[in-house]
Structure 1
Amino acid sequence: MKHIVLVCNMGMSTSALMKKMSKYAESIAFECTVNAYPVAELENVVDEADCILVGPQISYQLDNIKKVSKDVPVSAIPMQVYGMMDGKKVIEMAQELMGKE
């Protein structure tokens, strides 16, 4: 089971994306959990993460997030993908980051 962590400013808008990602993952039998957190909580949850995806509204914090993330792979979600709430594309991004299994 993979643990995907989404971070954004407050953890609110990312919750909708989280639901779409979970639905898509279930449809392809990809076993994962997807949780959304405000960036301020990242240090508390980084140890449970297999990858961290950053909302475009805080992509300017990417370098700091990478420092906090230790060895966990991190990537920013493109604005267009985020805006369309494209759960499929974000799951594919996570799989790519983690190495498909």
Structure 2
Amino acid sequence: MTKSILLACAGGYSTSMLVEKMKKAAKEQGLEVMIEATAESNIAAFENIVDVILLGPQMGHMESEIAGRYDIPVSTIDMMDYGMMNGDKVLSTALKLIEKGKN
């Protein structure tokens, strides 16, 4: 089953670069994942189609508010991983959150 990951930041632009790195990492690992980037104001459009929401570090202060709106895991991307555009690490984090959320 394909896993769906949503990255959100203020405008959706900086996370879109990280999405490409994550897609590359998933392809290298032979994983079927859907990874999208969006602006914070558009998260609700993805509510029923994603398994996890990852927030850009600049939105970390909104994590508990956003998590309270949705019945899926929500977490802030580690600042170092975000800054280094570490697609492998962020993908791994997302997949772990999805698995944890199913328990």
TM-score (norm 1): 0.94
Distance 2:34 2:62 in 1: 24
Question: Gaps spanning 5+ residues in structure 1: where?
Answer: none
The share of aligned pairs that are identical, in percent, is: 38
1:4-62 Cα deviation digits (max 9, x unpaired): 00010000000100000000001001110100010101111111111111100111111
Q: Does 1:94 find its partner at 2:94?
A: yes
Distance 1:67 1:43 in 2: 12
Q: 4+ residue runs of structure 1 moved beyond 2 angstroms?
A: none
TM-score (norm 2): 0.92
1:47-86 Cα deviation digits (max 9, x unpaired): 11111111001111111110222x2111110111100000
Question: Gaps spanning 5+ residues in structure 2: where?
Answer: none
- Counting matched residue pairs gives 99
Query: What is the root-mean-square deviation of aligned Cα atoms in Å?
Result: 1.1
Counterpart of 1:40 in structure 2 is 41
Distance 1:68 1:31 in 2: 27
Distance 2:54 2:25 in 1: 16
Counterpart of 1:73 in structure 2 is 73
Q: Aligned to 2:11, what secondary structure does the other structure show?
A: coil
Counterpart of 1:24 in structure 2 is 25
